[in-house]
Chain A
């Protein structure tokens, strides 16, 4: 039977290849994701090993906070270095400081940055070579008030050793001599981070860390193990610091990084999963059609003595072969994909530390097993149906598959699936006390069930759906053909002049062909429905993303409009990084300022969780207006040293009322006893304040190197070009900060959201491409199946173009059914998600803004048009085949 299976496959190369596409793409996403993330992980692993190679013991501040990309660990007093050096087994020890952002200013006055990669600054000491990770490429090591920068930044900024360069640390921009260009170990770059290195004294000044160190590295005397040295240091040093071996520190850094990367990996794998799920639909559909077309073949096998299990075996065998071949192709395509992405990263300035691809055995077996299993799952139902073909079908004209045994229960069953899906969704979204993992799996399973249910039940409604979308499709196709009309007329005229008499490219719809297409779509309603379902999934998710984003941005705009009473906002150039307080001080001197206030941002331990806390200056009461549950605008001015403002949801979940006591722990381990001075209701769309807000004076006295989240400004005369100019001038020394009007502030936020969305859209595009192949495949199979009909139509006067139009319209109908269902489902999911975010009343993670459900027609119309285009493009190849059919052969086709 395997031989039969193999022969069958070879006989249907095109069909098998189109079916396999779904698996190839899904598996490529899996293997590409693994290779990419493993490679990044591997590079960081070797990077950190390189950094801590010569370090036996590593001393840093002890902090109760979890590692957090928004704040570096606290500093330690410089005096500890002497203590370390005085320890018995220390051969050599050195201290350093580091900070970010420490920006390098380009010759155009703008910060040199690669995408969202950080701008790092640190001290360098070339004299102690075992601790130095930099290699000098040109020039010399930095002296006092000098700097070295990395190759990438030098290239981008057009700098060479000896130039004067602007550096932006904790204060305003400083001009320094660029003493040399360096490289990090042997690597070309670390994911696009820019590096600025100084000698210790200069670094301390630039980073505002005079008298402090961030870490101390020590090497042991010969014969002393790192563990022993660390132990000695632990007893010698105060408990405010931790001592680790260099190896342990490298491992910790690696695991911190890989924790971040594994989030990215899981995120990408989720999209690969979606793609494969869509792939299952495509494969089930193509297999069902192929098997229906081969009814007579199976019947013949049965008459020749093949048992049911042999028929089953031959189909499963075929699927296994297709799955295996497709998985292998997908696996290698994934390697290519990863390599391509690395190349893209490199081109975008985000070079990886090392270039060797890391391919773990896990990547290979997971990709292969997933690909094969998905294909097998998809083939079970069609295969079982094939086994029910009776031998008598061999001699019947137009034999068809026996109807499924479950047909009767199909509608009820799919409605149950939809109901279960929604229950699971609602449970995941709204039940209390679930972990992130539980939420995600409940939501994922729920969405899956809903998709399957809708796909199954939609077969019953193909008739009305198709009739509903058909005129829309006709109009859209016509509109699109009018758009490209000049081109098609030109092509036609050229052909005609060349003596090739083709039909004039009219754009008016062909009534009979659209009507035949509509009836064909309805005739094969199950295949139309499941082909459409594949596209539905992709479009539902795209719509969900868009609806959520629209709700988010619209609500944000509303929030800004309702609470923002200032004229300008000063934020960092990329809108989200913190900015130094010195920028605010520079602006405060601008003539015309009526009020200026900043919101500080820092991390602290609140109720044993690492959370963000904010701090406000008293003037804030003039610059934004909050809705108060307890307290008033005056509360902002009178927080004093122990007053705290909390949000009402935070107050509720921790049972806080006015004058309740609460405490937070700063990164240095200091406990602040606070008292609730006011409770506010965060506006829908985002709050300027976090869960806990204290006064800026108090914040500055207990947090090291405080930074502003943003600064608000009110000016005489409001938003005028003179005022804008004055602020820009005041910020001239702070190239990473910008003054924005209310509108610009909102726009910047929205464009940041939209940028993030682009990534989601690109990832979802994979699923849509798979469903695109699904449409192509269904159409190709349909053309095979209707060969004789097409022959007849051609014989009675259908032109090639009419035949093409018929196929195209069927594709457009299918795509639009998928589009309609997808957009509707996406809106429902979007509404649920928004509702969930709105009703968050417990432990708001990361200050998710409260948002309202907002629907705009524009993106949805774009998605519908996109669906039409998917249909049109998917039809090109099958329609060509249909048009090219030899009439005579088609008529004799069986």
Chain B
């Protein structure tokens, strides 16, 4: 069926010339492609394998994002750049302001934790930063691309390349083995599999000998390890973790947190984690405290008791 795929692409490339809107210019510009798209009409590209992202040392800005003329403000060293985010649910008297003007930069190679009591807007913030939800106003850029105005399919393509997710309930597909679950983002995006990288992360998350097991045969901690590897396999610009320890016992939580920290350290994986576990927040390079839809406080890396103290202060 290769000829068909080829035909697909030929026809597509002819038609893609008639594309007029500006957003697409960015997408079509190959110069800014670290790992070029393989979705849809780009399958015929001589597929570049991603450049090694392995970072030797430090937490410094490690991702060398090439800028192109039509990319707007890509701040060097910032993976996610959000300005004045507001999110209102409902209308009129019953309107609830989940976010009231939050601006935040997520620096490359850092683990940023977002904390706050229930209803503080921390989940909303994460959803908006990840492009899963639309802000009422404000802008979000991921890797220099303004995402709040993207269409669904453009957002999907952006997620394929730039965004990794870790969920509270793991969200693995039960009929796939651990390894297949890990590879899913690559398969879905139609990208080549880098076997060395797969082996490395699988071993790194400690699943070396559990690759062929299905989720039902794995413990909760192991399932979350699979989820972490799944998020990492893409080498995303930014990884979002939504209460990654929320569904685990305390010992396993500790292991998972250790792993996350390790990932950030070893690979310089930019991570945003939403949590209300002080212990989790303590592994972060920076902790943002949200209350009533605003960032109330920002802390550099701290120990759990300091985080807890800050939380208690907020709740008061």
Residues of A near any B CB (own CB < 8 A): 478, 482, 489, 492-493, 496-497, 499-504, 506-509, 511-512, 516, 519-520, 522-523, 788-789, 791-800, 802, 887-888, 891
Contact = CB atoms under 8 A, between A and B. Distances in A.
B167 A796 contact: no
A512 B184 CA distance: 8
Given A509-B1, A797-B159, A792 B20 contact: no
Contact of B188 (A499, A501, A502, A798): A798
A392 B273 CA distance: 34
9 contacts: A501-B151, A502-B153, A504-B12, A506-B12, A523-B175, A792-B167, A795-B132, A796-B159, A796-B185
A656 to B, nearest CB: 67
B15 A797 contact: no
Interface in B152-180: 152-154, 156-157, 159-161, 164-165, 167, 169, 171, 173-176
Interface of B: 1, 4-5, 8, 11-12, 15-16, 18-21, 23-24, 39-41, 127, 130, 132-133, 151-154, 156-157, 159-161, 164-165, 167, 169, 171, 173-176, 184-185, 187-190, 230, 234
Contacts of A797: 156-157, 159-161, 185, 188-189, 234
A512 B188 contact: yes
A870 B161 CA distance: 36
A513 to B, nearest CB: 8
B169 A788 contact: yes
A802 B164 CA distance: 19
A647 B147 CA distance: 86
A478 B19 contact: no
A788 B174 CA distance: 12
Given A501-B151, A504-B11, 20 more contacts: A496-B15, A500-B151, A501-B24, A501-B154, A504-B15, A504-B16, A508-B1, A508-B4, A512-B190, A523-B174, A523-B175, A789-B171, A792-B167, A793-B173, A796-B159, A797-B159, A797-B161, A798-B188, A800-B156, A891-B132
Contacts of B230: 796
B156 A512 contact: no
A378 to B, nearest CB: 28
Nearest to B159: A797
Nearest to A508: B5
Given A504-B15, A891-B167, A796 B188 contact: yes
A802 B169 CA distance: 23
A788 B171 contact: yes
Given A512-B187, A516-B173, A793-B188, A478 B1 contact: yes
Nearest to A511: B187
A798 B171 contact: no
B156 A798 contact: yes
Given A509-B1, A800-B153, A504 B40 contact: yes
Contact of B18 (A493, A789, A798, A888): A493
A796 B18 CA distance: 29
A795 B165 contact: yes
A497 B18 contact: yes
A800 B39 CA distance: 12
Contacts of B41: 504
A522 B214 CA distance: 15
Given A523-B174, A788-B171, A794-B156, A888 B127 contact: yes
Nearest to A518: B175
Contacts of B8: 504, 506-508
Contacts of A791: 171
Nearest to B155: A887
Contacts of B19: 496, 501
A499 B20 contact: yes
A810 to B, nearest CB: 12
B159 A506 contact: no
Nearest to A506: B8
Contacts of A504: 8, 11-12, 15-16, 40-41
B39 to A, nearest CB: 7
A484 to B, nearest CB: 14
Nearest to A892: B123
A276 B14 CA distance: 52
Nearest to B230: A796
A429 to B, nearest CB: 43
A800 B153 CA distance: 7
- Residue among B12, B156, B160, B234 with the most chain A CB within 10 A? B156
B12 A799 contact: no
B134 to A, nearest CB: 10
Contacts of A499: 20-21
Contact of A519 (B152, B160, B176, B234): B176
A799 B152 CA distance: 8
Contacts of B171: 788-789, 791-792, 891
Nearest to A482: B4
A830 B159 CA distance: 54
Contact of A799 (B4, B130, B153, B174): B153
Given A501-B21, A501-B24, A799 B175 contact: no
A489 B16 CA distance: 12
B156 A799 contact: yes
Contacts of A492: 15
Contacts of B190: 512
A272 to B, nearest CB: 39
A512 B130 CA distance: 24
Given A504-B15, A799-B39, A799-B156, A888 B173 contact: no
B252 to A, nearest CB: 16
Contacts of A519: 173, 175-176
A876 to B, nearest CB: 19
Contacts of B151: 500-501
**What are the 8 closest A-B residue pairs judged by CB atoms, nearest first?**
A797-B160, A512-B187, A792-B171, A519-B175, A506-B8, A504-B12, A508-B5, A796-B185
A789 B1 contact: no
Contacts of A501: 19, 21, 23-24, 151, 153-154
A592 B194 CA distance: 85
Contact of A478 (B4, B161, B187): B4
B140 to A, nearest CB: 15
B15 A802 contact: no
Nearest to B20: A499
A183 B230 CA distance: 82
B15 A493 contact: yes
A877 B313 CA distance: 52
A489 B41 CA distance: 13
A800 B40 CA distance: 12
Contacts of B12: 504, 506
A290 to B, nearest CB: 20
Contacts of A794: 156
A807 to B, nearest CB: 15
B62 to A, nearest CB: 23
Given A501-B19, A523-B175, A507 B24 contact: no
Nearest to A884: B152
Contacts of A800: 152-153, 156
Nearest to A500: B151
A789 B184 CA distance: 12
Nearest to B3: A508
Contacts of B173: 516, 519, 789, 792-793
Contacts of B24: 501
Contacts of B132: 795, 887-888, 891
Contacts of A500: 151
B11 A489 contact: yes
A506 B4 CA distance: 9
A417 to B, nearest CB: 29
A888 B133 contact: yes
Nearest to B19: A496
Nearest to B158: A797
A506 B11 CA distance: 9
B117 to A, nearest CB: 19
Nearest to A888: B132
Contacts of B185: 796-797
B79 to A, nearest CB: 17
